[in-house]
A = this chain, B = another copy of it.
Amino acid sequence: MANVLYLSVVDDLKKKITSGEILPDKILKSESKLMEEYSVSRMTLRKSLSLLSNEGYIYSVPGKGYFVRKPDTDIYQFRFNEYDSFLPDVEKIKLLSVKIDKPTEEMIDNFVISKDEQVVKIERLIFSNKEPVAYEIFLTPYIPNKPVVEDKLSFANYYKALEMKLPFSIKNTIEMKLVLANEIIADKLKIQEREYVFKVTKKTYKKDNNNLLNYSYYYIKPNYFILFAKTPEEDESKKIF
């Protein structure tokens, strides 16, 4: 297909795998045989096999050969942030409060801080369709001499700025469940107490030491949130070269 050798090899092998001509866990021809079959050099062939391996089609066992992989079809991917995840589109995000306070027991457990240190607590209300649709509580340890100009960059963006600066060093987790709204949440979202709301807990960790950097609770009105996820795609931009 393409006028690039290693891609045409990839195309052909993919076809053989997706069509079922070579089934999962079955062995492929050896490198030397494939080199002959496609009339390419070893390095070129290996580039093709490398690509197929990266895309999850095959795996290799040293000394044995290449095998077709059985992919995991139960894996899904989605995107979540305070701007794109609510329905209809988010109109504005209102900063309710910024407090610097002593940590609760829960925070001392979660963060790597002592009870003498302080914690930043930010409350925000996310509006959509003229209504409050989500109430967010964000928590992070307070570090007074952080090289972020606190007055200039509002606290609301403080942690975003932090993430932006060192994007490779963090990882997130998210937990979503249904809970009954308590008085505070009901008040913020203007709903009845003991109505169901989505509770999304988002935690941000430092990759290398697994320290918790910050976490947020989002309380979301049921009708304003749909989670849509799909099988992860092979990322074209990350193609091997």
Contact = CB atoms under 8 A, between A and B. Distances in A.
A24 to B, nearest CB: 7
A17 B168 CA distance: 8
A77 B75 contact: yes
A229 B178 contact: no
Contacts of A14: 168
A169 B79 contact: no
Interface in A61-89: 70-81, 84
Determine how many copies of this chain the complex contains: 2
Given A174-B229, A178-B222, A227-B177, A168 B80 contact: no
Contact of A165 (B20, B54, B238): B20
Contacts of A135: none
Given A56-B238, A238-B56, A70 B172 contact: no
B226 A53 contact: no
Contact of A73 (B43, B72, B170): B170
A196 interface: yes
A173 interface: yes
Contact of A231 (B172, B175, B230): B172
A168 B231 contact: no
A228 B230 CA distance: 15
A144 interface: no
B168 A18 contact: yes
Scoring A14, A163, A226 by chain B CB atoms within 10 A of each residue's CB, the highest score goes to: A226
A102 interface: no
Contact of A169 (B18, B169, B232): B18
Given A43-B43, A75-B77, A173-B229, 12 more contacts: A18-B168, A20-B165, A50-B240, A53-B238, A59-B238, A60-B241, A73-B163, A171-B230, A174-B229, A176-B226, A176-B227, A177-B227
11 contacts: A18-B166, A20-B165, A54-B240, A59-B237, A70-B164, A72-B79, A74-B79, A76-B77, A78-B229, A173-B228, A227-B227
